[in-house]
Structure 1
Amino acid sequence: MHDTLDFPDLLRLIDRRGAAFRAAVAAAPSLDVPVPTCPEWTLADLVRHLGEGRRAWAATIAAGPDATAKAAPPKTAPQEREALLDWLAAATRELLDALREAGPDRRCWAWWGKSQTPLTCAGVARRQLHEMAVHTYDAQVAAGVPEPVPAEVALDGVEEFLLTFCTTTVAWPHEPAAADYHATEGRSWRNWLSADGSRAARVIAPPAEGDAATASARGTANELVLALYGRIPLDSLELGGSRRLFDQLIDWDPEQ
């Protein structure tokens, strides 16, 4: 397993998660089954969301570094399952083709401008992988065949979530704090929160004496990433320190 996913890894795993998503849809009793992890959505809604989103991002990437907004997706999804799966596969290919054509370092519009995730095609590819990974889990739950997020994807997913959703230049509105996240696979991260904003990083060495986190969460990478996305309860993890800090983090919605 690579310590850090590079651009070819991201493209490879987007393709694999796309295939796993389509397999879950094919295995479901019907497209009308509800998606428990996405309230008020049916499986058909989830497929359309994923396909329209991938096409919109493909068009945004193709628009080049001067694009100032996400492209509007064409709403042309077919109704019949086999045709819908073909449409979704084509959307994933459009996304991958656009990313390959642009390359990892080209700038790209994205909504996370105040976070630590770069506004590059590599940053977009990483975000696309993890959106597809979590929605693959959603589709598997709807089909009754849930599987853990693969460790290679889940480990990167914890880090990407923290960097994209949990970092900002907007001031933290509470007392300064730090939250630690520990994957049982042997990787840890810290999220620092202060009046200067929020930043996160992978932690290599144990914290020095007197540098304990305000709160901590431990679990497998799969459990961590699903809890961060609200797919399983936070209490599924081994929690330490101030539970109140996690409640504050969940309630905090700084403008990105």
Structure 2
Amino acid sequence: MTDSLQYSALLQLIDEQSAAFRSAVAAAPSLDTPVPSCPEWTLFDLVQHLGTGQRWWAAIVAAGPAQAPPAKDAAEVPDEPEALLAWYAESNELLLSALREAGPERECWTWWSAGVSPANTRGVARRRVHETLVHTYDAQLTAGTVQPIPADLAIDGVAEFLDTCNSTPAPWPHQAATIHYHATEGRSWLLTLNATGAWPAPLTDHTAPPSASATGTAEQLLLFVWGRLTLNDLKTQGNQQVFEQLIAWEPEE
């Protein structure tokens, strides 16, 4: 699983997913095609978003420890398909080059610095693996070429999302609750929500029944936490309002 892979393997995954992303974009009817999983975006918007993100994180990694991130690249993005794909390939290589040069332990600015994920290049690499993975799914969905997500990668994606996006010291503004995610491949996760914030927690034989639970394949759970599937796509139990509250929550730290 990617949480136990070497740093070089994370970089390889970014590169592999970026190649799959470019292939899906090339197979789509046009850059004006709407992205079903990102209703306000066209395929051009999706490529621009991911490519700009790769360039921004490359600059963040290169800057090292910092109190604030550098500005995002404001250069004009080409809108002709071949030139756009070349621009994206260059964007991805800028990120990989910065990560290779920095090595796995260099500290840098991250928006998740108060959470569980490390505020360093290893944390950035793991985040970009899954950002690229999910946007590859978006591009494949747009092109009608969706490929299965490997179970081990999806399992790490769920864990990474909880570590990065669902861990914060910001007080939970609702009644304390717990959420249990269970992948049919045999992995489970627990998220606690209370006055101390939102934190992934270990599951033990003595863990109390959760306020709410969701069961599906690892791929389904990954796409759910990223907002690509809904609760209707999963088997749920307990108080579904907790999921709705979590999705709507925008913590202020």
CA 1:93 to 1:2, structure 2 compared with 1: closer, same or farther past 3 Å? closer
Contact 2:180–2:210 (CA under 8 A) maintained in structure 1: yes
CA distance in 2, matches of 1:71, 1:129: 22
Corresponding residue for residue 141 of structure 1? 141
The Cα shift of 1:176 comes to 1.7
The Cα shift of 1:114 comes to 2.3
The Cα shift of 1:194 comes to 1.2
Alignment length (residue pairs): 253
The Cα shift of 1:169 comes to 0.5
CA distance in 2, matches of 1:57, 1:117: 16
Segment of structure 1 superposing worse, 194-203 or 170-179: 194-203
CA 1:2 to 1:59, structure 2 compared with 1: closer, same or farther past 3 Å? closer
The Cα shift of 1:250 comes to 1.3
**Match of 1:96, as an amino acid?**
L
- Indicate the RMSD between aligned Cα atoms, in angstroms: 1.6
The answer to whether structure 1 residue 60 and structure 2 residue 60 are counterparts is yes
CA distance in 2, matches of 1:255, 1:236: 30
Corresponding residue for residue 87 of structure 2? 87
CA distance in 2, matches of 1:2, 1:177: 29
TM-score when normalising by structure 2: 0.94
The answer to whether structure 1 residue 163 and structure 2 residue 163 are counterparts is yes
Contact 1:70–1:109 (CA under 8 A) maintained in structure 2: no
Q: 5+ unaligned residues in a row in structure 2: which ranges? A: none
CA distance in 2, matches of 1:104, 1:241: 40
**Match of 2:103, as an amino acid?**
G
The answer to whether structure 1 residue 236 and structure 2 residue 227 are counterparts is no
Contact 1:52–1:75 (CA under 8 A) maintained in structure 2: no
The Cα shift of 1:105 comes to 0.9
CA 1:198 to 1:51, structure 2 compared with 1: closer, same or farther past 3 Å? same
Q: 1:62-141 to 2 correspondence within 5 Å?
A: 62-66=62-66, 68-141=68-141
Contact 2:55–2:94 (CA under 8 A) maintained in structure 1: yes
Corresponding residue for residue 9 of structure 1? 9
Corresponding residue for residue 186 of structure 1? 186
TM-score when normalising by structure 1: 0.93
Q: Deviations over 1:142-200 (max 9, x none)?
A: 11112232223211110011111111101111222111111111111110111111110
Q: 5+ unaligned residues in a row in structure 1: which ranges? A: none
Q: Which of the numbers 213, 216, 225 marks the counterpart of 1:216?
A: 213
Contact 1:4–1:156 (CA under 8 A) maintained in structure 2: no
Q: Deviations over 1:213-255 (max 9, x none)?
A: 1111111111001011111112211111211211111121112
